[in-house]
A = this chain, B = another copy of it.
Amino acid sequence: MITVDWGTTSFRAFRLRGAEVIGRYAGPHGILQVPPGSFASTLRAAIAPWLADGETRVLMSGMVGSRQGWQEAPYLPCPAGAAELAAGLVAVPFEGARVLLAPGLSIGGEVPEVMRGEEVQIVGALAQMGQDAVACLPGSHSKWARIAGGRIEGFTTHLTGEAFAALRDHTILGRLIQPGAAPDPDAFARGVARSADPGGLLHHLFGVRTLGLFGRLADAESYLSGLLIGHEVRAAAPSGPVYLIGAPTLCALYARAIRQCGGSSILVGEDAAAQGLAIIAEHAPWT
Q: Which residues of A contact B (CB under 8 A)?
A: 111-114, 141-142, 156-160, 162-163, 165-167, 169-173, 194, 197-207, 209-211, 213-214, 216, 228, 231-232, 234-235
Contacts and interface: CB of A to CB of B under 8 A. Distances in A.
Nearest to A170: B166
B167 A163 contact: yes
A-B CB proximity, top 4 nearest: A200-B235, A159-B205, A111-B207, A158-B202
Contacts of A210: 111-114, 157
A171 B166 CA distance: 7
A207 B113 CA distance: 7
Contacts of A205: 158-159, 163
A156 B232 CA distance: 22
B202 A228 contact: yes
Contact of A170 (B112, B170, B198, B228): B170
B114 A203 contact: no
B200 A231 contact: yes
Contact of A171 (B112, B142, B159, B209): B159
**Most chain B C-beta atoms within 10 Å of own C-beta, residue among A165, A200, A232:** A200
A197 B156 CA distance: 13
A24 to B, nearest CB: 29
Copies in the complex: 2
B235 A202 contact: yes
B166 A203 contact: no
A232 B203 CA distance: 8
A206 to B, nearest CB: 4
Nearest to A111: B207
Contacts of A173: 159
**Most chain B C-beta atoms within 10 Å of own C-beta, residue among A157, A202, A231:** A202
A71 B3 CA distance: 63
Contact of A199 (B112, B114, B156, B202): B156
Contacts of A228: 202
A163 B231 CA distance: 16
